[in-house]
Amino acid sequence: MKTTILFCCILCLLIITTSFADSYSQVTWERQPNPSNRILSSCYFVNNSTGWIAGDSGLIMRTTDAGNNWTTQNSNTFINIERIFFLNQRIGYALAWNVFPDTNEFLGTMILKTTNGGDQWTNSMYPDTNRFLRDIIFLDSTTGFIGGSPILIAKTTNAGVTWFTTDADTLNIGLPVFSIKFINSLTGYASGGFRDIAGAMWRTTNGGLRWFSQIVGPEPLTDLEIITPQKVVAVGGDFEYGSSYVKTLNGGLNWTYDTLGVFGVAQAVDFRTPLEGWISLGISQKYGYTLDGAQTWTNLYTPDSVIINDIQFTDSLHGWAVGYFGAFLKYDGTMVSVNENSSATLPGDFELRQNFPNPFNPVTKISYALNRDGNVRLELFDASGKSIRELVNGFFSEGEYDYSFNGEGLSSGIYFCTMSFEATGTFANNSGITSETIKLVLLK
């Protein structure tokens, strides 16, 4: 009898716990009507309204109203799209693997390109056979990078007309490259590896001409996110050991490795704020999230337990995720967040909001709200941490404020805006100076 009662208690506890996790996942991530019934592998939004999704059988779709309506575009191919990237609302690229070539093609990767928002796509095969490219990124209209396997980081300086292989110090090992991100035109990171062999991170400081690598874990790393110039997080794993992640707090000099305690492979990572980040955990049908800047991670089920492949935030209030059988989800940051008591989502004295639009060229709006009177300072830093401009410095009363920032004269790249706040009056002795930072991306 006692055994039966104990079993029932445990079963009830499991049901309550699962329902609790599911309710949290529904709070911030909402399932949307499926734009397609195909597997969606990649998504990319250039702002909160305009974005593209891509997937199997050459599917590419565009929305201009935040995912409420979608238009199917002619990709001129029926092979699966692995990755899609847009520099702005006009210029975009996609990668597709040709594993069953016809008489006019060969085994390898097809690179798709558009210059009119996807109304027309052109495609060409990457010139090296048996190269399977996993990521593509452009820093401006002419300079871009691709990564894949066997090990390859290639660069173009003529908008993809030609590509040349860069110098990577693990060429003799042959570890594939999965993801590439840049802080600015000189400094970037790449992640990759091979199952049961190693997880690797690469770093460049000379515009991607030379890459230096480190073995940072036992499993491949599928995606990475640059949170600050010194702090980078990468995620991955394999089916035997489950999902894992690595992070650096000193610009890649040292990396720490840990598991996420979830079966499967972490597919993608992005941060909503410097403290709150999300991981798509693939076939585990879960997300991973952190509220303390990747110090700890918590897992929860996705809405309807859908399998998510890719995830992206355009600012602190808007996020997108895509996955199996046309699954499309929105993150609504205007609703209650994952943890109502978290200082990461409900600030006390003030809130620095993500600039909009982001990326921008050259003007963007930086908004902040004060819950009490105090002294405010907004300061702009470049990717190296050097202060380059003071935007605001003065006393402000409780309320909401907008600052229009013009990046004219600055080069394309990642910048950081730090807001420092010191309460005055009644609360001055209890507050002190506190600060928050957002990341701005200037693309020209």
For residue 319, tell me if it sits in a domain: yes
Same domain, 394 and 425: yes
Same domain, 359 and 285: no
In this structure, of 13-22, 215-224, 231-240, the range with the lowest mean pLDDT score is: 13-22
Same domain, 371 and 294: no
Same domain, 177 and 261: yes
Same domain, 215 and 257: yes
Same domain, 237 and 378: no
CATH code of 431's domain = 2.60.40.2360
* pLDDT class of 432 with cuts at 50, 70, 90: low
Sign of CA dihedral 163, 82, 360, 269: negative
Among 271, 298, 332, residue at a domain's last position: 332
259-283: average pLDDT: 90
Q: What is the pLDDT of residue 105?
A: 65
Residue 20 has pLDDT above 90, yes or no: no
Q: What is the pLDDT of residue 337?
A: 45
In this structure, of 75-84, 99-108, 211-220, 338-347, the range with the lowest mean pLDDT score is: 338-347
pTM of the model: 0.75
Nearest 10 degrees: Cα torsion 296, 286, 264, 266: -60
Same domain, 407 and 309: no
Report how far apart, in Å, the C-alpha atoms of 347 and of each of 232, 343, 423 are. Answer: 24, 5, 14
Residue 220 has pLDDT above 90, yes or no: yes
Same domain, 242 and 372: no
For residue 338, tell me if it sits in a domain: no
For residue 345, tell me if it sits in a domain: no
Q: What is the pLDDT of residue 153?
A: 93
CATH code of 21's domain = 2.130.10.10
Same domain, 374 and 296: no
Among 332, 361, 388, residue at a domain's last position: 332
For residue 56, tell me if it sits in a domain: yes
Q: Which residues 6+ apart lie within 8 Å of 245 measured at CB?
A: 233, 234, 235, 236, 257, 258, 260, 266, 269, 279, 294, 297
Q: Which residue has the higher pLDDT, 294 or 20?
A: 294
Same domain, 212 and 116: yes
Angstrom distance (rounded) from CA 309 to CA 40 = 7
As a whole number, the mean pLDDT across the chain is: 84
For residue 341, tell me if it sits in a domain: no
Angstrom distance (rounded) from CA 151 to CA 133 = 10
Q: What is the pLDDT of residue 334?
A: 59
For residue 159, tell me if it sits in a domain: yes
Same domain, 193 and 318: yes
Q: What is the pLDDT of residue 170?
A: 52
The total domain count for the chain is 2
Residue 273 has pLDDT above 80, yes or no: yes
Residue 303 has pLDDT above 60, yes or no: yes
Residue 236's domain spans which residues?
7-332
* pLDDT class of 425 with cuts at 50, 70, 90: low
Q: What is the pLDDT of residue 329?
A: 95
For residue 173, tell me if it sits in a domain: yes
- State what percent of residues in the chain have pLDDT above 90: 52
* pLDDT class of 14 with cuts at 50, 70, 90: very low
Among 306, 332, 358, residue at a domain's last position: 332
Same domain, 318 and 414: no
